[in-house]
Amino acid sequence: MRTDRYKLIYYRIREWELSDLHRDPHELCNVVDADCYQEVFRNLKEELRAQRAKYGDRTEKAVPK
């Protein structure tokens, strides 16, 4: 899931990666566990679920909550 500012990746090994592309354009820091990014993380996960449902993506059973 990508926006102008953020990029969220879910790996099949049950791991998330969140990058703030404005502050870290080379995507060197995973900010998924940083307190100040938790709302962004929740919102992007919900958007990812919505997009998967919209396009019928069933490659993975479910994106963890």
Confidence of residue 58 (pLDDT cuts 50, 70, 90): confident
The alpha helices in 1-65, defined as continuous H runs, are 38-55
Specify the 3-state DSSP secondary structure of 21: coil
Confidence of residue 63 (pLDDT cuts 50, 70, 90): low
pLDDT tens-digit readout, 16-35: 999 999 999 999 999 999 99
Q: Where are the domains of the chain?
A: 6-55
Are the CB atoms for 1 and 51 separated by under 8 Å?
A: yes
Looking at the DSSP bridge assignments, the partners of residue 16 are 10
> How many other β-carbons are positioned within 10 Å of the β-carbon of residue 17?
14
40/43 Cα distance (integer angstroms): 5
